[in-house]
Amino acid sequence: METIALLGGTGPEGQGLALRFALAGHPVRIGSRDPQRAEQAATTLNHRLRAAGSSAAISGGLNRSAAEGADIICPVVPHRALPALLAELGAALDGRVLLDVTVPISRGADGFGLDSLPSGSTGEWIQQLAPRASVVSGFKNLSANELLAIDHPLDGDVLLCGDDAAARDRCLALANRLPNLRGIDAGPLRNSRFLEAITALLLNLNRRHRATTSIRILGL
């Protein structure tokens, strides 16, 4: 099973993904700027896994050591933190699969919207910042709350896009290993901007209807 490194995985989205990937049988590492924070998050998550009857074990450490040798590297930080994080990792990202789950979202007076970026999406921005990595955008439409609620199965489709077909296929397989979820090939990386817009729409729907929404594509 591929090892997954969640950089900045101490936040809610990273912890939720860590639990779900670990339950699906993947070795998972939580990265942080502070190794103690990562170890603490890993310990908490391992207690939750034990309580759920799983023997999976999540480890924690500095972002750089979590990324070292991992098969899939997933930065789970606020999008503004991406340039510094990726610069710190430098050549360690060359030839690696980078799973981009970030959404450049802000909440304004009239609801959630997308921030402007140096590229059309965070997926394309990450690809610019780490040109020798294979970036795949996806898992952007799953909320941390849903991911963390491991007593409930997830539901919906996981749209994944990227320019490297082999990397995209590996991330599709990852999505399909999570019970009830379906990975969908969403084409090239430039479609990342549409995945990000869907997240903004879902959050605005949640707010308007006091609901928790997710997506499923009909016709496929």
Ligand X SMILES: NC(=O)c1ccc[n+]([C@@H]2O[C@H](COP(=O)([O-])OP(=O)(O)OC[C@H]3O[C@@H](n4cnc5c(N)ncnc54)[C@H](OP(=O)(O)O)[C@@H]3O)[C@@H](O)[C@H]2O)c1
Residue 140 in the binding site for ligand X (CB under 6 A) = yes
- State the minimum distance, in angstroms, from the CB of residue 120 to ligand X: 16
The mark string for 175-214 relative to ligand X (x by CB under 6 A, - otherwise) is ------------------------x---------------
Task: Give the H or E element holding residue 88.
Answer: helix 82-89
| Number of shown-chain residues binding ligand X (CB under 6 A) | 25
Residue 101 in the binding site for ligand X (CB under 6 A) = yes
> Dihedral through CA 26, CA 82, CA 14, CA 195, nearest 10?
-90
Only one of the segments 70-78, 156-164, 182-190, 206-214 lies at the binding site for ligand X (rule: CB under 6 A); that segment is: 70-78
The mark string for 141-180 relative to ligand X (x by CB under 6 A, - otherwise) is --xx------------------------------------
Distance CA 216, CA 220 (A): 10
DSSP string of 97-145? EEEE----EEEETTEEEEPP-SSSSHHHHHHHHSTTSEEEE--TTS-HH
- Give the nearer residue to ligand X in terms of CB position, either 60 or 133: 60
- State the minimum distance, in angstroms, from the CB of residue 23 to ligand X: 18
- With a CB cutoff of 8 Å and minimum separation 6, the contacts of 216 are 155, 156, 157, 182
- Give the nearer residue to ligand X in terms of CB position, either 95 or 201: 201
Residue 3, Cβ neighbours under 10 Å: how many?
16
The one among 42, 77, 171, 172 contacting ligand X by CB under 6 A: 77
- Taking every pair of Cα atoms in the chain, the longest distance, rounded to a whole number of angstroms, is 47
Residue 83, Cβ neighbours under 10 Å: how many?
14
Residue 121 in the binding site for ligand X (CB under 6 A) = no
Is the distance from CB of 138 to CB of 171 less than 8 angstroms?
Answer: yes
E-strand stretches of the chain = 4-7, 28-32, 58-62, 72-75, 97-100, 105-108, 111-114, 134-137, 156-162, 181-185
- Give the nearer residue to ligand X in terms of CB position, either 88 or 185: 88
Point out the residue whose Cβ comes nearest to ligand X.
11
Residue 33 in the binding site for ligand X (CB under 6 A) = yes
Instruction: Specify the length of the chain in residues.
Output: 220
Only one of the segments 74-82, 124-132, 151-159, 175-183 lies at the binding site for ligand X (rule: CB under 6 A); that segment is: 74-82
Chain residues in the site for ligand X (CB under 6 A): 8, 10-14, 32-34, 37, 76-79, 81, 84-85, 101-103, 105, 140, 143-144, 199
